[in-house]
Structure formats: structure tokens, C-alpha cells
Chains A and B, each alone.
Chain A
Amino acid sequence: MLLIPCPWCGPRDEAEFHYGGQAHVAYPENPAALSDEEWARYLFFRDNPKGRFAERWNHTAGCRRWFNAVRNTATNEIEAGEVTA
């Protein structure tokens, strides 16, 4: 049970959160301009590193806000100072 530092509410149990996958995968500016391959990359491809990983969380059972955090997938440690609303 991770203790996740919500930037609005403070540290809360993982059970209060909803996981949102890799962070910084923005919706393309102009999808129509992308090739099928580029669009497929946006839709279907995500990183799966062992180690530091920037990911999205939503505090669904609390303030319901989305935020980004950097977690080490090998140790489950969330880096202080890398949590951004």
C-alpha cells in the first residue's frame, strides 16, 4: 500500500488513488497531420522502465485532482520534489 503524496491533500493511502499511466504523453496538437504510425504510437506505445518513471495519478477518493509523480518502479519510492499538480 503505497503512501502517495497528493500535492493538494498530503500523503494518502494508494487505495484512494486511480493510476493514470505514463505522464507527459500529450494529446497531439493536430491528430489529422499525423501518419498512421505516429498516431498508433500515441495510442498504443508506453514506456515500461525498471527505475525512474514519471506517471499520472488521480486522487479519486479525495480532491479528485490529477497530478504527476516520479516513482521508481523497482523500489516503489516516489521522489520528493517530483510531484507536480
Chain B
Amino acid sequence: MTSRRMTGWQGETVRFRFDGRDYEGVRGDTLASALLANGVRAVAASPALGRPRGIYAAWTEEPNALVQVAAEPMLQATTVELRDGLAAHGLSGRGRLTDETDTARYDAVHAHCDVLVVGAGPAGLAAATVAAETGARVIIADDRPIAGGSLPDTAETVGGVPGAEWAAATLDALDGRPDIRVLRRTSVFGYYDDNYLVAVERRGEHAHSRERVWRIRARRVVLATGAHERPIAFAGNDRPGVMLAGSARAYANRHGVLPGDRAVVFTTNDSAYAAARDLAAAGVEIAAIVDTRDTTGGGTDGVEVLAGHVVTAVGGDDGVSSVAVAPSDGGAGREIEADLLLVSGGWSPLVHLFSQSGGDLRFDDGIGSFVPASARQAVEVAGAARGVFTLAGCLEDGAATGARAAEAAGFRVEGTFEIPRTPDEDPGTPPGHLWLVPAADYSTHFVDLQRDVTVADVMRATGAGLRSVEHVKRYTTAGTAHDQGKLSGVLTSAVVGHALGLPLGDLGTTTFRAPYVPVGFATLAGRHRGALHDPVRTTSLHEWHVAYGAPFENVGQWKRPWYYPRAGEDMETAVLRECGAVRKSVGAMDASTLGKIDVQGPDAAEFLDRIYTNMMSTLKVGAIRYGVMCRPDGMVFDDGTVIRLADDRFLVTTTTGNAAAVLDWMEEWLQTEWPGLRVYCTSVTEHWATVALAGPGSRDVLAGLAPGLAVDAASFPFMTWRDTEVAGLAARVCRISFSGELAYEINVNAWDGLALWEAVMETGVVTPYGTETMHVLRAEKGYPIVGQDTDGTVTPADLGMDWVVSKKKPDFIGKRSFARADTSRPDRKHLVGLLPADPGRLLPEGAHLVETSTLPEPPVPTLGHVTSSYRSAVLDSTFALALVSGGRDRMGEVLYVPLGDEQVPVTVTSHILYDPEGARRDG
């Protein structure tokens, strides 16, 4: 294949593969420029219609040339930097995710600055240089591998040297200054509240981190993001070989690549003439310039200019082979042979970030574009991004904007910035405005190339009555592809305007949203993957659980041992064995994760009376009481025990998952409603290690470990605590039970946790049990787990715990709600037990309950759902807890659980299924 590289273009050779074939490019190429240099015109078929598509643009606005590079799907060939060994293939629409783990590292940086400049084109460089001179801390971010914005594309000179050279030197000078940070290959993709901007820096395959996210808080922001050239909708405007004129110019000047041999230029404005001149000089034959205006923008030597003409058709199925042109007033047309059709519908300022910042746009009739109007945040816009399209204008505007931004950030501008000399620019002919070439058939006038949306599709939407561009976008999907409608967005609005006879300025644009460019999930996740995804909390006994092969259950951030399988045991067998050991002998569980809050101060008792539904102030020092907390709406929020340590000091335990929420809850009431109460709350969860010792044999085990402690039931009654020594360790032993058996909770300093546990295990009679066994044992006794058997719609009365709600206290959180009609409805869902008719049948948690043995027509009225379900070592059946409408009035009733095609019969029972008399509590 012949090279389309300009003769004499220098560059180190780079080898790559595309669609299974080997090619060569040069260092500095993008994949797109290298493909064009090798004469590859079609990159992939369009997703919906399967039409061949080529390279349409030269940077992030590319709608067509999607590729997959190794594991990374959906990259734009126009933004992939060529590197040795790169292997890519063209994508028709969606990419493919790999099963392999991405082993690259991704990272994040937080930064603050006085002035953030986005874009290192002429305006951005001038702004950053002026701002830097004032002493302001400046960050300048540019998404390109080399600086200069459009300068490398247009090859204009600045200060007498090629623009790209001037830009590189200017950026290097900034980079050398101590308070200036230059971020290259960095796309600012989101602009959020209070000048918080987020960018992605592409550092390369061999960098310490492949990409990193910058989160930047800036006092002032200067957006110098440039402009995109606009497409025009005409028949066949999607053929490979149709390309934006400025992009073709960029391929020639930036990469030394000629995207075709013979070109027709189709334009509404003068900029395409400059493109034609550069391409002609580079060796492309310009067959004709088709100008929609009657007064043309001059000409270029020896090239025919067809004023007042439009392109009416494009010949060639696999790529442009001819271009049909005709006078726009409908006269006779002709066909011109060409393999390249360059299009320029004018230039649209990149208002994306400005619009994300909350700024308003207005329509500028002169340039036919939306431009920034009033800002909501501390931001200014400079250069082409606000419609200044001359090089000298951009430099001046950038310098003035940089000075304004620095001053607004509190810095003084001293001296003047000398605007570098630029070539004289002819003011030229004002641009024309043409969005679509009128035709009888709009089925190949493409609006969004990636979504295969045509003018005909947009007109179908307006024909169906849609008026808003937001609705048309969603109806047609125009603007919803990877490029987020960079080229198609305003064109869609224009076609809607054409169809409805409304001015474009009145229709407006669709909403601009982050991210401006696609950003990988791996990049956003950064280091927060795998073990670092969320903090992991382990108890001081963790290593023992690991050594004994326990699988772990995640409870909040805690890892809790689930069960301890012996050789050959599955979970069911292990759990039944552990349950049996506690019911018949003695078991031990690591209970360290229970939340613990130290509550102290002269008003601590009064405070707890207000927080809990039951009375806490009457608790004696040395005693323990179970308590329930509700929200003001009367729904259960948490439960646990309260230990009175002194007149003015309590230790409150919470559920494992809710410890932080309960502390927040206490703080909120203390600070916002009861600032007069002298109470101080401190989380002490991790100060203690707690071993629960449960079962009829627990008293003997404790007696052996704590010879100084009188353990008989009279000396150490239920719901009291003692400070003593256990296994030679300072310990606080609480006589409380979550299984109904005689039980103790032994608390020691967290450092001593492992020693205590090992001492308990060395007795040789104690079976370690995990959270699953704990759940089964408590469920047999009907003890609810807040968050499993409750869901924020359950009152203490619904749980059958009227006794925990004080009748004596004048008020507590939730009290007033218990007098609401809603909380005493007879059909409220009550916590009940369920016994399946088939004692071997384990009901799935979450299953619903119905009244009838055959399902009625939908909607099926359900009575409630199963909240907990287990096999039991002591009941002769599986069993479940459930919240059932009017459940306490249904004792003995048979209800049905629909499971697939079956209606599984169950009998409603009390939620307390084992030892309802509480005979086992004292051993």
C-alpha cells in the first residue's frame, strides 16, 4: 500500500497492528493518523445500519472511528497515541469487556490553585502566563500530547516562529516555575459546584500509575477550550472520505498525512479556504470549493470556487469516489471526481464545561453558535471557546482573561504582557449558516454518525409531536454515544428548528453533562479496588478464626466468623453441630464487634431515658438492662444492652452494623435538641474484646477460669455484671444471653482478646461457634435482629415487645407515635414464627405469604414475608420468623408461601419457638 505520508516527513518508525494486519507509523501519530497514512479508509461498520465508516475528525470529537485496544474497549482512534506493538481493531458500536483483571495502577491527586486554566492553546497559554506573572498558583491542563491547541493543526506562526514551537516553549517556561503546575495529556472532564473540577491524566503504559484523576479546587477558572468544527447534513455525508476540513488540515500539518488525493471542499465559511490552501501545498489536489454563500471567501490559486452551491450526493459505496454538486437554488448540477470531501459548517465554541458549571448560554447570530453568557461560578471563558476565532484575538483575549482571573483571586497585575506578533489576518467574508442541504429524501443525511440517526429520524420525532430537543434526543438517541453529541448535538437542535420553523437560538441545546470525554471505571476507582475498596475491620481474635478455617460473614465493615467447619462438614452440618453444642454443653463466640458507647456525665441517666423506649434511670449500678431505641415515628432503630457502671456512667451496646449510626443519633439529639444536658458519648467498640460463653456448661467453664468470682446464680444473677480476673486477665463479665441458655459475655482489653479466647479453648470442653449459629439460637428464642427482622416500618409492639415501652416516662423518642391510629391498626405486621408442614422444607428468606392454597389473579394480596429461616438442632423441624399482617391473631392458621409453581403450607406460631418459659436461663 502506498504511503500517504508527505515526502520528507521525519519521525521514528513505530510498528502496530490493526484488524490483524501489520502497519508502520511514526512517533507522534495517533492511531487515526497512522491508519490514514497507510490508506486505511474504513475503520468499522456503523452499529445500526452496517454502513462503512471512516475517520471523520482528528481529536475527541470523532464520532466514527471507535477501536478496541487490547482489553480497553471503545477508544477513539483519533485520541490513541501510537506506540510500538499497539494492537487494535475497529469496533462496530460496542466494545468487549475482558475477563482479565486490569493489572495497571490508577491513582488520584487532590490539588488547590488560585487559577486553573483549561486548555493550552493560544488563549490558555496567554492566560496562564499572565496569571503566573502575578504570583498566583496556576494549574494549566491540556488534553493533547503537545501544546498549542489548534496551532499545530493550522501551522500559523507566533512571534515569528511556528506556532507549535512557540506553544511548546511557552508551556515549558511555565513548567519551570515553582508555583505553576503543568498537566499534559490531561482532560478536564467535569465541572462541579464551588469550582471543583475533575480531570484525567493519561500518563502512559510504563508510568507508575497508568492514569490518574485530578480533583482540583480552584479560586478562579479560565476555560480556553477552543472550538469544534461543525458538520453539515447532506445525502451520503457518512461515507469514508468525508471529513471535517479543519481535521484534514490537522492531519497534513500535525502528522504530515494526506487523507486523500483529490478533494472537494464544502463550506459555509472562510476557514475551509485556509485548509484547502494548506492541503494543496502539501500535495492534495483541490478539485473545487463548494461555498454555500453567494459572496465567497476569496479563493485559492487555480481552484474553481462554486459560489451558492451545495453538495447533493456522494458517490462510492465503500468511500468517496465522486461528489455531486448543484446550485442551492435548484439549478442543474454536476458530478466531480474526488476521493475526499472536506466539510466545514462553521465553528462551535466548546461550551461544555462552562455549561456544566451552571453558566447560561446565548445564541450568537454572527457565528451561528451558542456562546457563554452569564456565569454562575468564578469562571471566565477566553478565546475560541467564547467565539473569538482569530489567532491575534485569542492571544489578546487570553492575556486579558488571565489578568482578570488573577486579580479576582487577589493578585496584582504588574507590567504588561507583550502579545507576540502573528501574521496579518484578512477579516474575510462573514460566515453563512447552513445545517442541512434540503432534499426530498433525508434517509442518508446523517446527524449522529455513531447512533446512525438521520435527518429523517429527527423529522419522524418532530412529526410525532416532539418539540423539545431533550425529547428528540431521547426519542432518536442522537447525542447519546461515546462522544456525547460533540458534533451531533447542536446539529440535532438545528434540524428540529428546521422542521418546526423555529430559530435555533429559541430551541437551545440539550444539557451538557460530565464526563466531557469517556473515562474508564478503573481510573475513577483508582486505588479503591480489592482489599482497599472499603476498610476491613477485624477483631483481635481474627487470626485464630482464620487458622481454624472459618469462612467470614461481612457485617458492615466487620469480618465475622460465620461457622467453623470440621473435616468433611458442610455449612449445614457444622451449624447444627455448633447449635447442639450450645444447647447441650457450652460454646463460645467472638462478640467483639458489638458496638460499644461510653455514655457519661451528670445527665447521662436522663439522656438515656429520652433515647430508649424503656426506663434506664432506675437501673442500679452493677446491673444491665435490654433496651430499644425508636425514631420519632415510633419505628425500631436499634437495640442492645445498657450497663450501669456508676451513677453518671453507662456502657451502651449497639448492633454491630449500627454502631456509628447510634453514636451519630445520640450526638444529634444532644447537640441540636438537648444542648443543656451534660452528657459525653465516646465510641469504645475497639477498646474491648468480647467472648460470649453460652450453654448449660458455661458456669463451670467460667468458674474454672475465674476462681475469684462467685458464679452461682444467687451471687451472680441474670442481667448483672462483675469486674474480676478471667484467665489471669482483667475482665468485666456480664450475665446476659442471646441464646436463651445460661450465658456470659467476658470483656477484656482488646490486646488480651486472643489470650482469653485461647484460655477458653484450652479447657477442651468449649465448642467455637460463628454468627450463623448465633442467628439460629436467637431465632429459636424469637429475638429479632434489627435490620433483618425489622425494616424501619416495625414498632416494638409489632415485635411483641410492648414490655420494653415505658408507660411511666412523660416522653421519649417515639412515644407520641405509639398513640397514632396507624401504630395500633389490627392489621399491622407482627413478628410470628412459621413451621412448614414439611419439616424438612427450608423457606427462603424474603419469600411472601398468602392466605389461599391457590394463587388468585394478580395483583396477589400478600400478608407479609419471611425475615429469617433456619434448620434447628432442637426443634423437630425447620422454622422461620416472619412479619405477617395481623399475625398474632393467626396462631395455628395455615398460610401459604408461593415458591415457583408450589404453594408451600406453613403454620403460624408464636415467634418464641424454644423454651418459652425461659427455664434454661439460669442453667
Contact = CB atoms under 8 A, between A and B. Distances in A.
Contacts of A75: 358, 376
Contact of B673 (A18, A26, A65): A26
A9 interface: no
A39 B672 contact: no
A65 B821 CA distance: 36
B664 A76 contact: no
B811 A31 contact: yes
B664 A58 contact: yes
Nearest to A43: B633
Contact of A1 (B192, B632, B668, B671): B192
Contacts of A40: 820
A46 interface: no
Contacts of B667: 58, 64, 66
B196 interface: yes
B216 to A, nearest CB: 10
A1 B193 contact: yes
B208 interface: no
B817 interface: yes
Contacts of A14: 193
Given A3-B196, A34-B816, A39-B820, A66 B811 contact: no
B644 interface: no
Interface residues of chain B: helix, strand, loop or mixed (majority): mixed
A27 B673 contact: yes
B317 interface: no
B293 interface: no
Contacts of B664: 18, 58, 60
Interface in A17-59: 18, 20, 26-28, 30-32, 34, 36, 39-40, 42-44, 56, 58
B672 A56 contact: yes
A36 B820 contact: yes
Nearest to A85: B671
A31 B196 CA distance: 44
Interface residues of chain A: helix, strand, loop or mixed (majority): mixed
A31 B811 CA distance: 8
B660 to A, nearest CB: 9
| Range for the number of chain A residues in contact with chain B | 20 to 34
Interface string B625-639: 000000011000000
Interface in B171-198: 192-196
B190 to A, nearest CB: 10
Contacts of A26: 673
Nearest to B197: A1
B815 interface: yes
Given A20-B668, A32-B811, A43 B194 contact: no
Given A27-B673, A56-B672, A32 B196 contact: no
A75 to B, nearest CB: 6
Contacts of B633: 43-44
Contacts of B819: 32, 36
Contacts of A65: 671
A32 B807 CA distance: 13
Interface string B804-842: 000000110001110111000000000000000000000
Nearest to B670: A66
A43 B811 contact: no
A27 B358 CA distance: 37
A31 B194 CA distance: 41
A65 to B, nearest CB: 7
A66 B819 CA distance: 31
B803 to A, nearest CB: 21
A66 B196 contact: no
Nearest to A56: B672
Contacts of A31: 811, 815-816
Nearest to B667: A64
Nearest to B674: A27
Contacts of A44: 633
| Range for the number of chain B residues in contact with chain A | 20 to 34
Contact of B632 (A13, A32, A43): A43
A31 B820 CA distance: 12
A41 to B, nearest CB: 12
B217 interface: yes
Contacts of B671: 65-66
A1 B816 contact: no
A44 B822 CA distance: 14
Interface in B195-238: 195-196, 215, 217
B816 A39 contact: yes
A56 B672 CA distance: 10
A43 B193 contact: no
A66 B667 CA distance: 9
A18 B672 CA distance: 14
Contact of A36 (B358, B810, B821): B821
A19 B356 CA distance: 23
A64 B193 CA distance: 23
Contacts of B194: 1-3, 76
- Which of A18, A20, A26, A76 has the most chain B CB atoms closer than 10 A to its own CB? A76
A35 B810 CA distance: 17
Interface string A56-85: 101010001110000000011000000000
Given A20-B668, A56-B672, A66-B671, A76 B820 contact: no
B679 to A, nearest CB: 15
A34 B815 CA distance: 12
Nearest to B813: A27
A16 B668 CA distance: 16
A32 B668 contact: no
Interface string B346-369: 000000000000100000000000
Nearest to A76: B193
Interface in B133-166: none
Contacts of A3: 193-196, 217
Given A3-B194, A75-B358, A75-B376, A43 B817 contact: yes
A76 B358 CA distance: 10
Contacts of A1: 192-194, 196, 215, 217
B115 to A, nearest CB: 17
A27 B669 CA distance: 10
Nearest to B195: A3
A27 B814 CA distance: 11
Contacts of B672: 20, 56, 66
Nearest to B358: A75
A66 B816 CA distance: 25
B668 A58 contact: yes
A76 B192 CA distance: 10
Contacts of A32: 810-811, 815-816, 819
B452 to A, nearest CB: 37
- Which of A18, A43, A60 has the most chain B CB atoms closer than 10 A to its own CB? A43
B680 to A, nearest CB: 12
Nearest to A4: B194
Nearest to B633: A43
Given A18-B664, A56-B672, A75-B376, A39 B196 contact: no
Interface of B: 192-196, 215, 217, 358, 376, 632-633, 664, 667-668, 671-673, 810-811, 815-817, 819-821
6 contacts: A1-B193, A1-B217, A2-B194, A32-B816, A64-B667, A75-B376
Given A1-B196, A1-B217, A2-B194, 11 more contacts: A2-B193, A3-B194, A13-B196, A20-B672, A30-B811, A32-B810, A36-B819, A40-B820, A42-B632, A43-B633, A43-B817
List the 4 shortest-distance A-B pairs measured between CB atoms, nearest first. A31-B816, A3-B194, A1-B196, A66-B671
